[in-house]
Amino acid sequence: MPLSTPTDASELEPLKSIYLDDQFFSPSFADYDPQPFPKWLEGIDTTFAPFLPTSIRRVHKALSLASLGPEDVLLDLGSGDGRFCVAAVREFDARRAVGVETEEWLVELSENLAKRAFNGEDEVKLERVRFVLGDFTTPELKDVVRDPETTCIVVFLSPEFSKEWEEFLVAHYEKGVKIVSMVFNLSELKALRCSVCEDLDGIFVYEKLKA
Q: Can you spell out the DSSP letters for 69-92?
A: -TT-EEEEES-TTSHHHHHHHHTT
Q: What is the H or E stretch that residue 94 is in?
A: none
Comparing CA positions, the residue from 150, 148, 200, 202 lying closest to residue 178 is: 150
Confidence of residue 121 (pLDDT cuts 50, 70, 90): low
Query: Is the residue at 1 inside a domain?
Result: no
Confidence of residue 186 (pLDDT cuts 50, 70, 90): very high
Tell me phi and psi for residue 7, to 5 degrees. Answer: -120, -25
**Model confidence over 70-85: pLDDT tens digits?**
999 999 999 999 999 9
Mean pLDDT check: name the lowest of 38-42, 98-102, 197-201: 38-42
Please state, in angstroms and rounded to a whole number, the distance separating the CA atoms of residues 59 and 78: 14
Tally of domains in the chain: 1
Mode of pairing for the β-strands spanning 194-198 and 178-182: unpaired
Answer whether 0.75 is exceeded by the pTM: yes
Query: Is the residue at 211 inside a domain?
Result: no
Query: Is the residue at 4 inside a domain?
Result: no
Query: Is the residue at 3 inside a domain?
Result: no
The strand pairing partners of 98, in sequence order, are 75, 130
Full residue range of the structural domain in which residue 25 is found: 9-206
Query: Is the residue at 34 inside a domain?
Result: yes
Residue 9 has pLDDT above 90, yes or no: no
Coil, helix or strand at residue 167: helix
Query: Average pLDDT in the 36-49 region?
Result: 38
Query: Is the residue at 2 inside a domain?
Result: no
Confidence of residue 24 (pLDDT cuts 50, 70, 90): very low
Q: Residue 127: what pLDDT? A: 96
Q: Residue 3: what pLDDT? A: 42
Residue 32 has pLDDT above 80, yes or no: no
**Model confidence over 52-109: pLDDT tens digits?**
678 889 999 999 999 999 999 999 999 999 999 999 999 999 999 999 999 999 999 9
| CATH number of the domain to which 64 belongs | 3.40.50.150
CB 104 within 8 A of CB 133: yes
Q: Residue 31: what pLDDT? A: 47
